[in-house]
Amino acid sequence: MSSWQSIRTMIERTATAKGRAASGCFLIEGTRLHERALRAGLWPEAVLVAEAVWHNPGERETAVLHQLTQHNIPIYPIPNDEMARLTQGRQLGGLLGLVPLPEPIVLAEWLANHPAPTLLVAVDVVDPGNVGGMLRTAHALGADLFIAAGGSDPYHPRAVRTSMGSLFKLPLVTASLAELWAALRPYPIQTIGTVAENGIPLPDFAWGSGGTAVFMGSEYFGLPNDVLNQLDHRVTIPMTPGIDSFSVNAAAAIVLYERQRHKRN
């Protein structure tokens, strides 16, 4: 088996959470994600480059390949048809990199060192595109930490692509709900979650002066009852009559925007 075939096999394993855990790596795809990973100081263990890019790189690809070479990162040209198969035809720059999973953050220790934080908690958000979108939203709207709970998978390849590099900038924790509640309990952090109806209207919500954890639930079922029953507050975003819900990412953006607006004022 050639070198690029070995790396291809490792990349294929990163499609599943089990494969990522076993390999200790996740996948980044395309020129932009490589640029942003390198700016964040994240260096791949190995990179596959489509032969078309290898023989005729653009300015941005040349810069990325130069940085990788300077840091002795193994780079392997791969046939164009193999790259197309791995990327399912996406035209993002012809680069696939294996990046080591970061060392886990211990949530209790992180909370002890970050007074009054804003946390976005994704509970069983099953679509990895939504998870990546929420990461990007949390980063853009000043959240201090993203928590993936239950079935939310921030290192799924689609989540990584959709995060547009926010995954590299925003601290991230994966935790069970039991671990999350235990870590939050000692700290003055109000917990709020969105419900479609009968919650406090978001414009009327009284934000506290301490930290806030914003819980967002499944795209299909919302937050489970055992979570809702433990929250300090339930809030409802006003909607046009006849509309029953926002997308989970839109709802997260609205709530975080209101949180940031309150902090500025």
**Mean of per-residue pLDDT scores for the chain:** 93
45-77 pLDDT, tens digit each: 999 999 999 999 999 999 999 999 999 999 999
| CB distance 117 to 210 below 8 Å | no
Which of the 8 DSSP states describes residue 239?
A: -
Strand partners, 77: 49
Name which of 261, 242, 263 is nearest 253 in CA terms: 261
Based on C-alpha coordinates, what's the Rg of the chain? Answer: 20
pLDDT digits (tens, 9 = 90+) for 222-253: 899 999 999 999 999 998 876 667 889 999 99
Q: What is the Cα–Cα distance from 150 to 138, expressed in whole angstroms? A: 18
Q: Give 172's DSSP letter.
A: E
Using a pLDDT cut of 70, give the percent of the chain over it: 98
Dump pLDDT digits (tens) for 113-148: 999 999 999 999 999 999 999 999 999 999 999 999
List, in order of start, the domains of the chain with CATH numbers: 3-100 (3.30.1330.30), 107-264 (3.40.1280.10)
Instruction: Decide: pTM greater than 0.85.
Output: yes
Residues 122 and 175: their CA atoms lie apart, in Å, by 10
Quote the percentage of the chain above a pLDDT of 90.
83
Residues 190, 210 contacting (CB under 8 angstroms): yes
Checking if the pLDDT of 186 tops 70, the result is yes
Rounded to an integer, what distance in angstroms lies between the CA atom of residue 236 and that of residue 239? 9
